[in-house]
Amino acid sequence: MKIIQHFVKLSISAAFLLAFAVVNFAQTNAAPQEEKLLNGLKILTFRQKGADKLTVKLRLHSGSAFDPKDKEGVMALFADILFPNQDQVKEFFADDLGGSFEIVSNYDYIQINATGTNDKMLPILETIAQAVTQTQIDKETTPKAKTARLAKIKEWESDPSYVANLAVRKQLLGNFPYGRAQNGTASSIAKIDFADLLLAKDRFLLADNATLTVSGDFKQDLVYRAARRYFGNWRKSEKIAPSTFAMAEQPKEMFATISSPTENSSEIRYAMRGMTRKDKDFYASKILSDVYFNRLKEKVPSANRNSVSIEYDEHILPGIIIYGVSGLNAAADKNIMTEILSQPVSTDEFSRSKTFITGKYIVGNQSDLWLDSDTYKLGTPSEEAKKANAVTLADINRVADQMKTQPLVSILVGKK
């Protein structure tokens, strides 16, 4: 009885803390200042008095889900070519601007992240603007970018974990966008030419397909004047390619074994389909996936628990949930996830995972949360946090019943 009472108290405490956090989130994280240029570029500014760094992010709301069939890697290669000399750019940001630079590409978007001291806003914005408004794609730049990406792919494909994640995606989703290699493969990159990159530029590198965020201690009017100056001539289009694709077919094989690229290593992966980022049950499925992740950790020897992983892709289209175990020199137990999925979720499991998952959507990076709102057509971050906090145990078990009907595939990367 005391244990039950203890769990009840924990659940009540967790619920109170989450509710308090949501209210505090809404009170202390006001909506950013918003403006839109005539070309459709959306600008969000987050003034943070006393901040020692300025952060600028530019997100193009299109990613490798739009790669043509058999030419996987077009959008990743396009991201590379925006800044063909990235090492020099990183050095410039570090040495001259007192900050950092990176460009991220995934299935749903391409994002430029740049930081510097607060007095370096103009050169930061100018550098990014030049890349997106004066992009150079020709017969000379393309081969160099392809060579550099092929070198990365060769390195990645020597990693058993990378091979396992890619293989289980393909096994579950086939040619559906999220089942393909977002970084491309050696064979797909070889098929890409500069005309493919020009087409990507014409379709997706558009002002009205992007959102710009600026965070730090700055003068509000200076941001907008600079944005109009540097980004005002960026081309717009009223017809952005829609993210509509045929749904994935059922998996042809539920379990497979492939050889590992390295000796004395093995990777086990279990994968199932997730929900769209905008689905009403998205947060319930995230909480549920964390419950299953914790159960999987309990199933493996304690010495291997740090090697248990979860990857829950959040996408415009239905994504994928991948559970993994690394380094176990044993055959994959094809029934382990089936057993995990069959057990109802307890109050304690629900409370623990809800606290963890909801916290991510309350205390996450503000600019990224607002960018996600644009990419996935969501409500404001505070509205999304409230949705996550509203999930009940009944919701979890209802979604669990739905997920049991989804195909579950597994793969072992190791000795055949």
Cβ pair 316, 108 in contact under 8 A: yes
* 243 within domain boundaries: no
Is 135 found in the same domain as 63?
yes
* 410 within domain boundaries: yes
* 236 within domain boundaries: no
The whole-angstrom separation of Cα 179 and Cα 171 is 8
* 59 within domain boundaries: yes
Task: Count structural domains, the chain.
Answer: 2
* 172 within domain boundaries: yes
Pair of tokens at residue 344: 């109802």
Show Cβ contacts of residue 73 under 8 Å, excluding neighbours closer than 6 positions.
64, 67, 149, 181, 182, 183, 184, 185, 188, 189, 192
Is 308 found in the same domain as 223?
no
Half-sphere exposure of 193 (CA within 13 A, CB side): 2
Which domain-ending residue is among 201, 231, 261? 231
Is 266 found in the same domain as 164?
no
Is 277 found in the same domain as 190?
no
Give SS3 for 198: helix
* 237 within domain boundaries: no
Is 46 found in the same domain as 8?
no
Is 343 found in the same domain as 323?
yes
Is 52 found in the same domain as 14?
no
The whole-angstrom separation of Cα 140 and Cα 201 is 17
Phi and psi, residue 68, nearest 5°: -65, 150
Is 197 found in the same domain as 101?
yes
* 245 within domain boundaries: no
- Tell me the torsion sign for CA atoms 192, 241, 108, 45: positive
Tens of pLDDT, residue by residue, the chain (416 residues): 444 444 444 444 444 444 444 444 444 457 899 999 999 999 999 999 989 899 999 999 999 999 998 999 999 999 999 998 999 999 999 999 999 999 999 999 999 999 999 999 999 999 999 999 999 898 888 999 999 999 999 999 999 999 999 999 999 999 899 999 999 999 999 999 999 999 999 999 999 999 999 999 998 889 999 999 999 999 998 665 665 566 777 887 788 889 888 887 889 999 999 999 999 999 999 999 999 999 999 988 777 778 899 999 888 888 899 999 987 654 456 678 889 999 999 999 999 999 999 888 777 688 999 999 999 999 999 999 999 999 999 999 999 999 888 899 999 998 76
Is 399 found in the same domain as 283?
yes
Phi and psi, residue 308, nearest 5°: -80, 135
Domain range for 373 is: 2-29+250-414
DSSP 147: H
Cβ pair 160, 262 in contact under 8 A: yes
* 239 within domain boundaries: no
Q: For position 335, which CATH number holds?
A: 3.30.830.10
Is 273 found in the same domain as 142?
no
Judged on CB neighbours under 10 Å (0-12, 13-18, 19+), 154 is: exposed
Helix (H) or strand (E) holding 210: strand 210-216
Is 100 found in the same domain as 56?
yes
Nearest to 63 by CA among 104, 98, 23: 104
Is 406 found in the same domain as 310?
yes
